[in-house]
Amino acid sequence: MTIFIGTNIAGGKNNYVITEFFNKKSFYNYVAELLACSENQPRGYENISDLCELMADCGPGSGSRWHCRVSYETAKGSV
């Protein structure tokens, strides 16, 4: 099942980016890699919303950011 994650980045030209993940496992692996050097490590039982919260203000670039799951219709409309 494909998962779409929307990222809202403050202070940038592209303020909203949608990323597609093949399934929950691929999203989990992305979060684990992103947070590899932090104290907040994802647990296997966490749901998509919990994983999005763990990633708050993390990622390449500068600026505050938050993440949330978006629907296929929303993702399709942003392309």
Q: What are the sequence ranges of the domains in the chain?
A: 3-78
Q: Is 72 helix (H, G, I), strand (E, B) or coil?
A: helix
Mean pLDDT score, 41-45: 87
Is residue 69 predicted with pLDDT exceeding 90?
A: yes
1 vs 51, which has greater pLDDT? Answer: 51
Amino acid at 8: N
* Cβ neighbours around 39 below 10 Å, total: 5
Which residues make Cβ contacts (< 8 Å) with residue 65, sequence separation at least 6? Answer: 7, 8, 9, 10, 56, 57, 58, 59
| Half-sphere exposure of residue 18: CA atoms within 13 angstroms, side-chain side | 15
Q: What is the pTM assigned to this prediction?
A: 0.82
Would you place residue 26 in the very low, low, confident or very high pLDDT band (cuts 50, 70, 90)? very high
C-beta separation of 4 from 75 below 8 A: yes
